[in-house]
Amino acid sequence: MNEIKRIERKLVHKGSILDMYEDTMLLPNGKTEKWDFISHRMGAACVLAVKPDGKILMVRQYRNALERETLEVPAGKRDSLNEDTSICAARELEEETGYRAGKLEKLLSLKSTVAFCDELIDVYLATDLEKIGEQKLDESEDIKIESWDLKELMDMCYAGKLQDAKTVAAIMAYAAAKHS
């Protein structure tokens, strides 16, 4: 069986988080084709945080790619390639919501967009939450904190109102774990 093989990778843009490449691919039929590839250098973590009353902490923020606000689980990129994603998840929870997790448990790992990007996101469940203070947002961040019932969030996933992959995966993984 003939395989697809990359014969050239050219850096098109180097960003602060992402690098974009143009790959020249050799196809099994002998032809070549240009494919886009985005490298997410750091990786990321997200956290589904369950308050003592069972409500799930969500964050609402503007997303430039969609030109609108979205409702998501707290998330962010690792500070270094060596940072454990559990540390990243705990930090992002505290920064975006002002809550600290007494217990943090990994639910799953996912690749956000496999057709053209290698971003890896580890998804965590945070419980035994304690409010420790206010949000510690970056200057460019404007994040509103909301609390939702699991059923409401699942209904929004099924209705297509929540479309962020990490958020949908976190909600569905938590629902499955809760009912198993």
**Catalytic positions, written as ranges:** 139
In the chain, beta strands by DSSP E: 5-14, 18-26, 32-40, 44-50, 56-63, 68-72, 75-77, 99-111, 120-131, 144-148
Specify burial of residue 58 (Cβ count, 10 A radius: 0-12, 13-18, 19+).
Answer: buried
d(CA 57, CA 69): 16
